[in-house]
Amino acid sequence: MELKLSFSEKFSYYLNKAKSSLIPYVFDESSYNDSFLSYQSEVIPNINSSIFQRRVFVFWTGDNNLTANRKRSLEILKEKIEIEVVLVTPKNLLDYILPNYPLHPAYPFLSLVHKSDYLRCYFMNFYGGGYSDIKSPQYSWLSLFNKFEKNGSFIVGYPEMKKQDLAQVGGLIQKDLDRYYSQIIGNCAYICRPNTPFTNDWYNELLVRMDKYTDELYLYPGNILGDNIGYPIPWTNILGDIFHPLCLKYMDKICRDNRFRPVCKDYR
């Protein structure tokens, strides 16, 4: 795998993985009564979670051109994964937005990074298939799609190798995430079935948080990274802070495969 780990980090990861196998995590919603993990989302009518197209969505949410590194990464992605890659930009985004499920009114005021966070949730919930950051892959995804289509999992992605890479949500959820971090998957690349309890919960909690930030977003819309003064949304709040805890809730429906891990250097 491309990720460089120290000896102690590798040892900690494999020890955590072994412990997680011996004492598997069991979700108990009563442990998280004060969080969104205790909610139960309804299935969306007329969307079949077992059927999705073999394609991988990538997003470029600004009107600016892709950088040279991003262009190169996109070309490598198209060549290497052996699956159709769909680049979604502001020019074709509305082609994919369902009439009954429009973008949140505050979407235009998100930073460009948070727009990508929003869209990967929207697309995985309503379309499924693959998602990837615009980063170079290490392997073909053809066998990964073949394997995923035969099992009953909701989502498959690469495992997080360090607990420091998890979203920092605090409380009991954080303790459980840290205890089982080798079983949590990362946010850069995965294959997902649409309209599963996982994606429904993800999407509904995203909308709750968008409602919460709407007034401030109107006053302080985001720039590229959302690091401008007044912008209200912390870096991981509408993606990792939702996605990683849901990996706990649906751990028995998640598969892990290191071949999804992209090259995370020199990509900007």
The DSSP string of 100-140 is TSPPPTTGGGS-HHHHHHHHHHHHHHHT-EEEE-SS--SS-
Question: What mean pLDDT comes out for the span 233-255?
Answer: 97
Cβ burial of 168 (10 Å; 0-12, 13-18, 19+) is: middle
Q: How confident is the model at residue 158 (pLDDT cuts 50, 70, 90)?
A: very high
Bridge-based pairing of strands 155-159 and 254-256 is: parallel
Name the residue type at position 246.
L
Contact 233, 110 (CB under 8 A): yes
> How many CA atoms lie within 13 Å of 6's alpha carbon, on the beta-carbon side?
4
pLDDT in tens, 172-225: 999 999 999 999 999 999 999 999 999 999 999 999 999 999 999 999 999 999
Cβ burial of 152 (10 Å; 0-12, 13-18, 19+) is: exposed
pLDDT in tens, 24-74: 999 998 999 889 999 888 888 877 777 789 999 999 999 988 889 999 999
For the ranges 27-41, 95-109, 244-258, the lowest mean pLDDT is seen at 27-41
pLDDT in tens, 104-132: 999 999 999 999 999 999 999 999 999 99
What are residue 265's phi and psi, to 5 degrees? -145, 150
Sign of CA dihedral 42, 44, 45, 50: negative
Q: Is 94 helix (H, G, I), strand (E, B) or coil?
A: helix
Report residue 243 as tokens: 């996605």
Question: What mean pLDDT comes out for the span 140-165?
Answer: 95
Alpha carbon 206 to its chain centroid, in Å, reads: 12
pLDDT of 266 reads 67
Q: Is the pLDDT of residue 264 over 80?
A: no
Mean of pLDDT over the chain: 94
pLDDT of 89 reads 97
Cβ-proximal residues to 268 (8 Å cutoff; 6+ apart), any chain: 67, 69, 70
Q: Is the pLDDT of residue 1 over 60?
A: no
pLDDT in tens, 78-91: 999 999 999 999 99
What percentage of the chain has pLDDT greater than the value 90? 86
Q: Is the pLDDT of residue 4 over 90?
A: no
* DSSP assignment letter at 266: S
Give the alpha-carbon dihedral of 89, 93, 95, 98, to 10 degrees.
160
